[in-house]
Amino acid sequence: MIDVIIAGGGPTGLMLASELRLHDVRVLVLEKDEEPTRYVRALGLHARSLEVLDQRGLLERFLALGRQFPVGGFFAAITKPSPGRLDTSHPYVLGIPQPITDRLLAERAVEVGVEVRRGCAVVGLRQDEHGVTVELADGAQVRSRYLVGCDGGRSTVRRLLGVGFPGEPSRVETLLGEMEVGVPPETVATVVAEVRKTQLRFGLGPVGEGVYRVVVPAEGLAEDRSAPPTLDEVKRQLRAVAGTDFGVHSPRWLSRFGDGTRLVERYRTGRVLLAGDAAHIHPPTGGQGLNLGIQDAFNLGWKLAAEINGWAPDGLLDSYHAERHPVAADVLDNTRAQMELLSTEPGAQAVRRLLAELMDFEDVNRHLIEKVTAIGVRYDFGAGHELLGRHLRDVRLKGGRLYELMHGGRGLLLDQTGRLSVAGWADRVDHVVDVSEEVGAPAVLLRPDGHVAWAGDDQQGLVGQLRRWFGAAAG
């Protein structure tokens, strides 16, 4: 029997599949599309996602094909400089189109032994105490111990589960696409600069080879929001908003998106779990959607693997919901706020001007950027050291870099005392005796996702947290 079926071969599903394979979990990815999408829905990776990739030794692949940008100006497009003292070794946004991210993650999945089947749409499921049976559109059935729905905002897995998906429907819609223009670049730049003084949901930007990415507010809400707009519709809206259609022609692709905001009631229903857009949808303000999904996968992967491999302590798999549901709720709130600040209404513009003044205080600017980039995420592990629950940045050690030691997806004890031990858990936790001026604790125990599970110098306290996160000692 397959250990885990993942419905959806986008960034979330591919990241999860690769994480599971690090622990020898048998994984099958089912993707309904025959070919990878050409749509550039997401344009970049934030700091926490870059840390995730660095922890698995993948970052250099992405850096080679992306471009680094400052993180300032990402909250509601309010122009401010990048705040200082961000708690990350990657204080930038990596501009990289989603199709490239998809390709690199797919290559990684194949490298570690993931089986990906394209053109396989999930149409049914049923689960029992031993596993999940998945029915495909061609009538075939596949059986696995667990199923994870990573199949997007219109998730079939979520619908089949019948789990609640409360929130608000879309009120406004935006047209998006890539196409050529029929006017000089200088004309485009001049008109865009003028229009964006009042309409921040509008933009044209070059993507190479004479092609522009076009974003323009729609006239209303389409009856069928899954149907792409026509070129004539895009031209009509460009004329309505900018006074010109820029002579756009030869579209590569066209799409539309709304500002619907919803969060699933629970991330786990028995042996079926949800991740990425299948669990939460929100406007793309701040570029958080793809990043949130990758980070969901990073949180879930080692926990589901522990359950399958038989060493998970009680409640570990359920901590996926406990930790990630509040993070998604916070993203939904900040995207709601950003959408209000993008409104052209006088009241919203007054609030925007006030917030822009407040962001001149660096602590305010940093707080908002930490929300968008997920640097500020801290899980609630209870009272204790100030590092507890935080994601430890890539600190320099005497013997190298911390993240270089985490490529295998195991837990890690960074021991500056040389007196501690992980005896009984050495099959799950690496013990590294080294020193760093950047770690404000004698020793830290890191989960496979890099969050600090314990900090101190007491062996008894360490053993308690080893049991809590890594189960019973072996032998």
pLDDT tens for residues 147-164? 999 999 999 999 999 999
Q: Count the Cβ atoms, other than its own, within 10 Å of residue 95.
A: 13
Residues 6 or more apart whose CB falls under 8 angstroms from that of 368 comprise 75, 334, 359
Banded model confidence at residue 146, pLDDT cuts 50, 70, 90: very high
**366 vs 38: which has the higher pLDDT:** 366
Could you tell me the strand order of the sheet in which 411-415 lies? 429-433, 411-415, 443-446, 452-456
- Per-residue pLDDT band for 378 (boundaries 50, 70, 90) equals very high
pLDDT of res. 366: 95
Is the confidence at residue 105, as pLDDT, over 80? yes
The pLDDT of residue 11 is 97
Question: What architecture is domain 2-167+262-373?
Answer: 3-Layer(bba) Sandwich (3.50)
Contact 331, 338 (CB under 8 A): no
| Mean per-residue pLDDT over the chain, rounded | 95
211, 175, 214, 216: which is closest to 199 by C-alpha?
216
The reported pLDDT for the residue numbered 43 is 84
Contact 299, 354 (CB under 8 A): no
Q: What are the domain boundaries of the chain?
A: 2-167+262-373, 173-258, 396-470
Categorize the per-residue pLDDT at 224 as very low, low, confident or very high, splitting at 50, 70 and 90.
Answer: confident
User: pLDDT confidence of 49, banded at 50, 70, 90?
Assistant: very high
Q: For the chain, what percent of residues have pLDDT higher than 90?
A: 89
CATH architecture assigned to 173-258: 2-Layer Sandwich (3.30)
Report percent pLDDT > 70 for the chain.
100
pLDDT of residue 39: 74
∠ CA(426), CA(431), CA(435), 5° rounding? 175
pLDDT of 207 above 90 = no
Four-way CATH pick for 396-470: 3.40.190.10, 1.10.3720.10, 3.40.30.120, 3.90.1170.50: 3.40.30.120
pLDDT digits (tens, 9 = 90+) for 62-86: 999 999 999 988 899 899 999 988 9
What local confidence, expressed as pLDDT, does residue 37 receive?
Answer: 80
The mean pLDDT of 294-320, rounded to a whole number, is 98
pLDDT-derived band at 209, boundaries 50, 70, 90: confident
| 257 or 47, higher pLDDT | 47
